[in-house]
Amino acid sequence: MCECVLVSDLHGHTDRYTKLFGLIEDDHPAAVFLGGDLLPSGLCHRGSATGGSGEDFLEGVIARGFARLRDALGARYPRVFVILGNDDPRIEEAAFRDLAARGLWTYAHGRRASFGDFDVYGYACIPPSPFRLKDWERYDVSRYVDPGCVPPAEGVLTVPVREHELEYGTIQADLDRMTEGCDLGRGILLLHCPPYQTKLDRAALDGQSVDHAPLDIHIGSIAIRRLIESRQPLLTLHGHVHESARLTGCWRDRIGSTHLFSAAHDGPELAVVRFDPANPANAARELL
Burial class (CB in 10 A: 0-12, 13-18, 19+), 50: middle
Buried b or exposed e, range 161-188, using 16+ CB within 10 angstroms: eeeeebeebbbbebbeebbeeeebebbb
Q: What pLDDT, on a 0 to 100 scale, did the predictor assign at position 164?
A: 93
Domains belonging to the chain, first-starting first, are 4-287 (3.60.21.10)
Q: Parallel, antiparallel, or unpaired: how do β-strands 187-191 and 118-123 relate?
A: parallel
**Closest by alpha carbon to 219, among 203, 242, 199, 231?**
203
- pTM (2 d.p.): 0.95
Number of Cβ atoms within 10 Å of the Cβ of 212: 6
C-alpha span between 145 and 64 (Å, rounded): 40
* Contacts of range 91-99, beta carbons closer than 8 Å, 24 or more positions apart: 91/44, 91/135, 91/158, 91/159, 92/39, 92/43, 92/49, 92/58, 93/159, 95/49, 95/58, 95/59, 96/58, 99/58, 99/63
The residue type found at 147 is P
Identity at 10, one-letter amino acid code: L
Query: What pLDDT tens digit does each residue of the chain (288 aa) get?
Result: 789 999 999 999 999 999 999 999 999 999 999 999 999 987 665 444 444 433 489 999 999 999 999 999 999 999 999 999 999 999 999 999 999 999 999 999 999 999 999 999 999 999 999 999 999 999 999 999 999 999 999 999 999 999 999 999 999 999 999 999 999 999 999 999 999 999 999 999 999 999 999 999 999 999 999 999 999 999 999 999 999 999 999 999 999 999 999 999 999 999 999 999 999 999 999 999
Residues 6+ apart with CB under 8 A from 160: none
CB 148 within 8 A of CB 172: no
> What is the predicted pLDDT for the residue at 6?
98
Of 173, 165, 167, 141, the C-alpha closest to 153 is 167
